[in-house]
Chain A
């Protein structure tokens, strides 16, 4: 199932100098978050300062990849036409064990999907890029 989205030609991330390390890690199948060296807060998506205290010394940290599903939607009519080829597909809000929430793809598998379900990181090719998708545990 991990090549389910590999044939798509869809918009990839608009990488910036600050986020380049995040996307390079994603290519390796890793999920990075930022840890504030001052207050210890975990931050996602990558930013120039900590959203909790505005300290600007943040260090990259490998997320555990454990998360739970805050919400999901089975998308039948995608907002971008290039995604129609794989519709319906599931988009979800993954609340990482470290605290922050990210939006991601939830890969189809045998488990029934429900809000609150446990997730684990499942790096997946979406077009030519490996993205930090999730799957149900």
Chain B
């Protein structure tokens, strides 16, 4: 019954086990490794791939990225582009792939993000307003921006540090079900989170993702074509996107973000509501972003996420499964691919391939992406084939 409303189907997934450091790797060979996994998982041959969506590659390939990746992989796509929405790139790729297929431009789209992580990482070569008007005041990097968002949220609603820390503790708990997670074997309690050092107040170290190297990829095709493939398809039932600003000083709202409108559109298209989701696969670069996303989803009123979470078990067998792969707070953040981990986990769960962390009776999942300073948002409602 999902199929009738399907905008397209995810038929293949690939994910690299994240590592803290890479030596001698390039972004292109990481992309190649994870692309092979996704295309093989789909039961397709490289020659079947006629669409290619990639991310920007700071430092390695400043332009002609799709052509560079296509050439490296031996692909000759009839539709290709860069999706440059930070952590929303992964989710943003999925609906773009489906839209390109619907427009008749291609039939099978590889959406791929991967990164290396080595010392020293090159500093940003930006020459833009955020470089001119934030960096000179000592505000480099995302931590300070999200600290400012969190402080504003705390001040507006009186939420306590332990409310936010609960999100990080659950991420670490759920990561214990995922041997690939960077924090597998390293659970953390709310107390551990609150005892970790303050990086930029009020953010503690354990409330911030660990940057890692890795890669994630999905293959998208039409619902019709998906029928003939290896796995039970996972359908795209709704999508929404919104971009509001780049620098945190320009944010129209510090306590509610562009995911609010993105999720509303995705739910409206799918004919489903947030409470009908069996998995919340929510982008979690920082604890505060999950808090704001829960409130923006309508699952709880603004300022109430702490009380809401206290009433729920967020594990795979719980009343509100959230980021069963550990989220990026538990899995690690392989740069832009970090956002795609939320899509890949949703597909695993909806196919029933969650192994020891499988959610029982799962039909619908919400997967979100978020980029920059709560600036770029993309939301997907995904459904199983049954």
Contact = CB atoms under 8 A, between A and B. Distances in A.
A66 interface: no
Given A13-B132, A45-B132, A71-B148, A103 B139 contact: yes
A60 interface: no
A14 B133 CA distance: 8
B147 interface: yes
B144 A79 contact: yes
B229 interface: no
A41 interface: no
Given A76-B197, A79-B143, A115 B138 contact: no
Size band of the interface chain B makes with A = 35 or more
Given A45-B129, A105-B137, A131-B137, A75 B144 contact: yes
Contacts of B134: 103
Given A71-B148, A71-B155, A71-B254, A15 B201 contact: no
A70 B138 contact: no
Nearest to B148: A71
A65 B344 CA distance: 49
A116 B138 CA distance: 21
- Quick one: which of A10, A19, A91 has the most chain B CB within 10 A? A91
A19 B127 CA distance: 13
A93 interface: yes
A57 interface: no
Interface in B190-239: 197-203
Given A103-B133, A103-B247, A115-B155, A74 B198 contact: yes
A79 B155 contact: no
A72 B138 contact: no
A103 B136 CA distance: 10
Interface in B123-158: 126-129, 131-144, 147-149, 151-152, 155-156
Interface string A17-61: 001000000000000000000000000010000000000000000
Q: Which of B141, B156, B203, B250 has the most A CB atoms < 10 Å from its CB?
A: B250
A89 B138 contact: yes
Contacts of B135: 11, 80
A93 B198 contact: no
A75 B132 contact: no
A19 B132 contact: yes
Interface of A: 10-16, 19, 45, 70-80, 83, 86, 88-89, 91-93, 101-105, 114-116, 126, 129, 131, 133
Which 5 residue pairs spanning A and B have beta carbons closest together?
A79-B141, A79-B140, A115-B155, A73-B147, A71-B152
28 contacts: A10-B136, A12-B136, A13-B132, A16-B132, A70-B152, A73-B147, A73-B200, A73-B203, A75-B139, A76-B200, A78-B140, A79-B144, A80-B140, A88-B201, A91-B144, A91-B148, A91-B200, A93-B148, A101-B249, A102-B133, A103-B137, A103-B139, A103-B249, A115-B152, A115-B156, A126-B137, A131-B137, A133-B137
